[in-house]
A = this chain, B = another copy of it.
């Protein structure tokens, strides 16, 4: 047994909240973990809080306080993942294997002190390595760490368990980081909007980054960034069925790119500062204040002033739950005519690494939206992505129309899979 544990390659397996929600779900996750161990792997599993646990804890906080303290929110919310890990260790023990649960702090996840949105500064995985050497399965509470200076419990923000998993995979030089959720992989569009969306067999870090940042909920943006920076292969899989899932790899490992890979969408809020003086430092003050308030800004658009009075309009989008905080902090700093907000906008994006070598994608996107009577409020592009802000109510129509226009559906033939071996599989 010791030689197996020393010789086996390490895998990190991350299970989301729906994958550990009920006792049966949790035992199913435990069985997957044990199965990997019995195939000779050294297994580190990262678990999220069960089902609606985090939502319930957040609700409990708001029952007590209209603006819960961030430090105490972290103390509160970090309990959910610990519960999952303790229970899973019990289940694994009953399956005849040795397991140990660790808090983020015990697992060596050292973060900064930015409560509720902490960033990982270091992974000191000595205790994990020690447990693996003792032939134990290690269960790590996701989403949390400990601040390096104050030794307080911190959390990494919603979806932070993905980041925990990738960071551990990097620190342990794991062969793969498997992310188990309730969907079969990454799709060409949200199957709830486009029933004919196709599961992708693989895509590049850059594509996944653009998708995560533009609304694809399957992987957290920071986790993908971390994976790209550390070369961690991610394998998105369903914990409820044994499909091939979706691999997220370096571009050098992926085969020739299709022009367009997927359509994503997100519901956001827009803020427009009107009549700003066009002088140096204005934008810095605006976005500095937002950063201080921990508001993540997504798209930013500023036009050069065209009128004589040298005033400019500045628009940006934020998560809807951050809108109030954004307008609160901008009151004192903005130096223009006023603030306009729209809490009901949406964003539709088209992503594909092949876009770089295929001009005309933007024109086709704008044309498609126009044909369907959808007005574009803001546009933002990257080499492999085009995003359009539109009315939130028109998002489903826009996603469907673009998915159709680029032929991304389940009946499409992918260049890299001529054998048809990996038949597209759509989540139920």
Question: Complex: how many Å from CA A251 to CA B169?
Answer: 61
A72/B86 contact (C-beta < 8 A), A23-B63, A64-B23 known: yes
Binds B, one of A90-98, A198-206, A307-315: A90-98
User: Which B residues are CB-close (under 8 A) to A67?
Assistant: 94
Nearest-CB distance from A324 to chain B (Å)? 18
A73/B61 contact (C-beta < 8 A), A106-B151, A151-B106 known: no
Residues of A within 8 A of B (CB): 23, 26-27, 57, 60-61, 63-69, 71-73, 75-76, 78-79, 82-83, 85-87, 89-91, 93-94, 100-101, 103, 106, 151, 153
A91/B65 contact (C-beta < 8 A), A83-B57, A83-B60 known: yes
Interface SS of chain A: helix
Which residue of chain B has the shortest Cβ distance to A57 in the bound complex? B83
Q: Are A87's CB and B60's CB within 8 A?
A: yes
Q: Are B72's CB and A89's CB within 8 A?
A: yes
Which residue of chain B has the shortest Cβ distance to A88 in the bound complex? B64
Q: Are A87's CB and B71's CB within 8 A?
A: no
User: Which B residues are CB-close (under 8 A) to A60?
Assistant: 83, 87
Q: Are B63's CB and A89's CB within 8 A?
A: no
Q: Are A90's CB and B106's CB within 8 A?
A: no
Nearest-CB distance from A78 to chain B (Å)? 8
Nearest-CB distance from A133 to chain B (Å)? 15
From A60, A63, A72, residue with most partner B Cβ within 10 Å: A72
- A75: contacting residue among B64, B71, B86, B93, CB under 8 A: B86
A-B contacts, 5 of them at CB < 8 A, read: A23-B64, A26-B64, A65-B90, A76-B86, A76-B87
Question: Complex: how many Å from CA A93 to CA B73?
Answer: 13
Q: Are A89's CB and B101's CB within 8 A?
A: no
